[in-house]
Structures are given as structure tokens and as C-alpha cells.
Amino acid sequence: MRLLALAAAIALPTAALANDWDDQPITDAERASVMAALEAAGCTSPDSIERDDNGYDVDNARCGDGVYDIELDRDFTITERDRED
């Protein structure tokens, strides 16, 4: 009985970690929504799109005035742009 309780105590935190937002792969629908937001801002061709704690992280998007790392929230709103060049 104690062994079962110990196993459950170990499994619960492990399961919680597996469901962390930023540990999940980005879906095709999410990627399309991120790309739509980028295109609306005049940006294309990012090197990568990943989930992060607050939404999405885009590396090296090519925009009309330079290359940017861009962060979007979970509603696909751009929250930060950092020029890379």
C-alpha cells in the first residue's frame, strides 16, 4: 500500500511536467495562426516557431525593415519585437 502511494506521488508531478505548455509541440493550426499574425505585420520566413511560457517565440522573421525575433501571446498577438540585424 505504501509503495502504491509512493508511486502515485512520483507519477503526479511527472504527469504535470509532461503537460507543460512549452513542452508540447506546436500544432499545424498554431503555426498557421502565428504565420498569419506575422504576415499581417509584414513579416515572413522565420527560422523557427516554438511555444514559450506565455505564447510563441519566433526566431529571425524577415520583416520589411529588418530581421526580428518576435514574441506572440497565446491569442497570436505580437507582444515584442527585437531587431536582430
pLDDT tens digits in sequence order for the chain, 85 residues long: 665 554 555 555 544 445 699 899 999 999 999 999 999 999 999 999 999 988 999 999 999 999 999 999 999 999 999 999 7
Task: Tell me the per-residue pLDDT of 34-49, one tens digit each, with 9 for 90 and over.
Answer: 999 999 999 999 999 9
Q: How far is the C-alpha of 45 from the C-alpha of 67, rounded, in Å?
A: 10
Using left for φ > 0, alpha for ψ between -120 and 50, and beta otherwise, residue 42 falls in: left
**Residue that has been written with the C-alpha cell 511555444 in this structure:** 51
Residues with Cβ within 8 Å of residue 49, at least 6 apart in sequence: 26, 31, 34, 35, 56, 57, 58, 59
- In percent, how much of the chain has pLDDT > 90? 69
DSSP 8-class letter at 24 = S
Domain boundaries, the chain: 25-83
- C-beta separation of 59 from 34 below 8 A: no
